Amino acid sequence: MSKDRPAILSSHPEQIRIEWVHGLPPFTLEVFHATGNDAVSETTDLTDYQTIKCTQTIGQTSTPLRYHLYSVSLSNTEWAPGDYAIYLSDVIGNVAYRLLTKVDSDSPDEPSKLSALKVIRTLLEERRIDGLFDNRQLLGDLVVAPYLTKLLMRKVHCSSIQELFN
Amino acid sequence: MANTSVNGWRLILFILFSIFPIACFSNCGADLVVFVSKNGKWNQIDGDSLLRSGDRLRIELETTNACYRAFFWKDARNQVFNLTPKSITPGNSNKIVPNNLYTLPGSGQVYILDHSTGSEILVMAASDAPIANLNALGRLISRHEFATSSGMIRINRYDLRWVVLRHRGS
């Protein structure tokens, strides 16, 4: 998800997947309608993660790095189109904040996983992040995803982590 | 007779709270002082001070009482970071000694402002009881609107003292 612009959710998955690195578990995820004070969703005690391996290259030196990739799936079937504020907090009070806009798409055709993969690959090559969140939703749980999907998403995650430090 | 005594105490308390409103908070006094480096010299700055990307900052917390404390930075992107120095949290107890000076980030290091412009809000939370739920405190700070350039407010059982720095780009 972009740090500065709202992520767009225009596809219609019943579950949205949010992934992150860093922070100390257990985590709490809260979602608020941008204009309200009542949480539309609250998930506590988040601890599940996968380990991803990235490579940091500085000059001619490559260093292997491992990260814990935490994730959570949320049902959004009750969410009306509009802006939502997402607060992800860790056990010592660090809080990440992102905006998410849910769009009521007119398109009756759900994009396929294959087209989502193509879009993600293009975005990765062009070093763009707009559309990444939306298309990532269509790929579902990476634990049961095909090898090539896992490989591509590992590149996306490593690229995103690298972006954090630039 | 008893009524007169109670009314007398109420009057004294009313006068005390009128003259010393800070007494309504806990006894967790501390100064939050921010310094910015300009041309190699450190200058103290106030709330609403204008800062630029790349500015180098350090912060001093001077305590007057022994209390439990935590220090947070809410940045221009609304992200909250717990920056409580380890020297304040020995053995996960946030109680610090009075009349002591804590420098952040410490060890001769500095904070360097990134390229995100907006309000950088420094928040010191204090309580006379141990701060057991830092997660809830961080979430409270992330959703709270700090409307003035500096101030103090009591929310739940926390005294929050804050300073807002205006980050106006490079």
Tell me which of A21 and B90 has the higher pLDDT.
Answer: A21
Could you read off the pLDDT of B21-55 as tens digits, one per residue? 333 445 676 778 899 998 889 999 987 788 999 99
Count of domains forming chain A: 1
Inter-chain touch A94–B80, beta carbons under 8 Å? yes
Report the range of poorest mean pLDDT among A104-108, A140-144, B67-71, B85-89. A104-108
CATH at A86: 2.60.40
Mutation for testing the B interface, residue in A95, A100, A164 having most B CBs under 10 Å: A95
Percent of all residues in chain B with a pLDDT value above 90, rounded to a whole number: 36
Q: What pLDDT sits at residue B18?
A: 45
- Considering only CB atoms, which chain A residues are within 8 Å of B142? 87, 89, 95, 97
Q: When comparing pLDDT for B1 and B47, which is higher?
A: B47
Average pLDDT over residues A91-118: 78
User: Each residue of B128-170: pLDDT tens digit?
Assistant: 888 889 999 999 999 999 988 888 899 888 889 999 999 887 7
Helix (H) or strand (E) holding A80: none
Q: Give the closest residue to B43 by CA, choosing from B62, B31, B58, B54.
A: B58
As a whole-number percent, the residues of chain A with pLDDT over 90 amount to 27
Q: Quote the minimal CA–CA distance from A86 to chain B in Å.
A: 11
| B93 close to A (CB below 8 A) | no
Residue B17 has pLDDT above 70, yes or no: no
Q: Is the CB of B137 inside 8 Å of chain A's CB atoms?
A: yes
Residue B83 has pLDDT above 70, yes or no: yes
Q: Which of residues 2-61 of B touch A (CB under 8 A)?
A: none
More confident residue, A95 or A115: A95
Third-level CATH fold of B26-167: Immunoglobulin-like (2.60.40)
Reported as a single tens digit per residue, the pLDDT across A26-38 is 999 999 998 888 8
- Burial tier of B20 (Cβ tally within 10 Å: 0-12, 13-18, 19+): exposed
| B135 close contact with A: CB closer than 8 A | yes
Q: At what angle do helices A147-164 and A113-125 cross, to 10 degrees?
A: 40
Q: What is the pLDDT of residue B12?
A: 56
Can you give the pLDDT at residue A153?
Answer: 84
Count CB pairs under 8 A between chains A and B: 51
Model pTM score: 0.80
Establish how many alpha carbons lie within 13 A of residue A157's alpha carbon, considering only the half-sphere containing its beta carbon.
Answer: 25
Is A108 within the bounds of a domain?
Answer: yes
- pLDDT band of residue B97 (cuts 50, 70, 90) is low
Query: In this structure, is residue A151 part of a structural domain?
Result: yes
In a domain, A26, yes or no: yes
Q: Report, as an integer, the average pLDDT of A86-112.
A: 82
Domain that holds residue A101: 7-164
Which residues of chain A have a CB within 8 Å of the CB of B77? Answer: 3-4, 97
The token pair at B111 is 């904070």
Candidate from B134, B141, B142 with C-beta closest to A91: B134
Closest to A94 (Cβ–Cβ): which among B81, B116, B143?
Answer: B81
Report ipTM for this prediction: 0.79
Q: What ranges do the domains of chain B cover?
A: 26-167
Do A4 and B116 count as a contact with CB atoms less than 8 A apart? Answer: yes
Under the banding of pLDDT at 50, 70 and 90, the label for residue B20 is very low
Q: Can you tell me the mean pLDDT for A145-158?
A: 84
Q: Is residue A15 part of a domain?
A: yes
In a domain, A2, yes or no: no
Set of chain A residues whose Cβ sits within 8 Å of the Cβ of B138: 89-90, 92-95
Do B78 and B116 contact (CB within 8 A), yes or no? no
Given this model, what pLDDT does residue B90 score?
A: 43
